[in-house]
Structure 1
Amino acid sequence: MLAHDIDSDLVSEFYEYIQDADVREAFVYLAGAFTCFRSVEWTVKNQGEVRSFRIYQNGKRYFSFMPSQKKLNFHFRPPVLKDGIYRKDEIRKLFASFDDKSHKDDEHWAIDILNIDDARRLVHALDLR
């Protein structure tokens, strides 16, 4: 669901910043999917050069993704990892771009979303309702 304080202009800016058509399609798919799930709330924030799409569940920021011109970099954040909801080996099998070294001490897992198939695979793996 959308957060009450969502900045729709910023969402449009994020979309327009993406240059790759496949990545734009994936962005639209993920934004729509996260809007439909009652179990999560999402918002956006611009932190200078970092554009952040933030997804909360049970009041915790479990996920985020950062749109760039050529990809969406999706993160499984520390709260979801500490809660043990997802298995590293399962996510690694689904995404060749899996990276658990993007932050110190294995505190984030990161994957790149490059197209609609990646976005669908991610939404299926997250199994949100």
Structure 2
Amino acid sequence: MTIDVGGTFFLRFGSISRKAVLAALVGVLLPAGGCTSTSTSNATPTAVTEGPKDTGSYPNLNIPPQVAAKQFTKEETAANLARLKAEQQAQAAKGGSVKAPANSAALKTLAKTHGDDTLKQIEGKCDPTLDPNCN
């Protein structure tokens, strides 16, 4: 008897359950149908077909930059690392502490005047004693 009641409730013409199932199917299948289109006109990426272009603006990221210097080989890298590690160990063997310079008065004077001298050079009012290339 329960099966008959459930069957008549669900299969009735205007039942709420039937409308809910129909709405759920339409709600799921309708949006999914819009995503199934295929187009071959835009299948290849533009970078593959056109290549780099000079747009006249800086920087042009389409053209790879030229290297400033040749890259180290693996042997050169290993040699430099070995040299640096040897220097590190030699420094650690000395005690590794930083000693104060012997002439601290000269360093204090330099610290007081260095900023002003640098500003004079930057502003074009350079001192020939500080910069021999000063005009």
Task: Report the TM-score, using the length of structure 1 for normalisation.
Answer: 0.19
Structure with the higher fraction of residues in helix conformation: 2
More strand by share: 1
With structure 2 as the length reference, what TM-score do the two structures score?
0.18
